[in-house]
Amino acid sequence: MSCLMLVGATGLVGHCVLQQALADARVQQVVAPTRSALPPHPKLLNPQVDFDHLPEDAAWWAVDAVVCTLGTTIKAAGSQAAFYRVDHDYPLQVARLAQRHGARAYALNSALGADPASRVFYSRTKGELERDLQRLGYPSLTLVRPGLIGGEREHGRPAEQLAVRLSTLLKPLLPKRYRVVPAERIAHHLLQAALAGVPGVQVLMSEQLV
């Protein structure tokens, strides 16, 4: 049985990962550090943290694998710098600390188009995170790159919701890469990757998730 860390448990995909992990007999405990408390569960350890000042020596860093679904929008973050901190710096710091305490697998919810050389700030941020995670040398690293994500978010993203609706209507005409991927499917692949711990770097593209 595995001890799994989940960061981003309050988001759309993260919530799905949490529910699936808590129901999975292979998972002994889920460690989900969050800013605000989650509903209690016998298998859940939920430390409340400030991601700008993570406790580096906390015992709960000692996990077998990490799933990261942290992410925001520039509008919600307030600036490109704040967005970069949430979507790059926090996931990378979590990866470093968990690895230092023994984690051997890391599964990231990235994004379609992630590329450190991209001219698009969002895609460049995601690409730089993928690049920097690979430099850490995790025995198992899985980069999941969904396109549009289907599901009901607690805090709406109007532009994304419109794109999802249009994509759903045009589904028969769209290549698989550009179709809506249900959050539950993304969560499934992230969890399976973290638990399987396949050696090396795996990249799962959007069309592989549906």
Distance CA 84, CA 78 (A): 11
Given a contact cutoff of 8 angstroms between Cβ atoms, the answer to whether 8 and 68 are in contact is yes
Map residue 107 onto helix, strand or coil.
strand
Distance CA 132, CA 38 (A): 30
Distance CA 12, CA 54 (A): 23
What pTM does this model have? 0.87
Report the candidate in 27, 28, 40, 35 with the shortest Cα–Cα distance to residue 7: 35
Given a contact cutoff of 8 angstroms between Cβ atoms, the answer to whether 180 and 148 are in contact is yes
Report the candidate in 54, 142, 143 with the shortest Cα–Cα distance to residue 97: 54
The 10s digit of each residue's pLDDT in 67-81 is 999 999 889 999 999
User: Quick one: average pLDDT of 69-94?
Assistant: 96
Confidence at residue 110, expressed as pLDDT on a 0 to 100 scale:
97
User: Quick one: average pLDDT of 92-113?
Assistant: 97
User: What residue type is 84 in one-letter code?
Assistant: Y
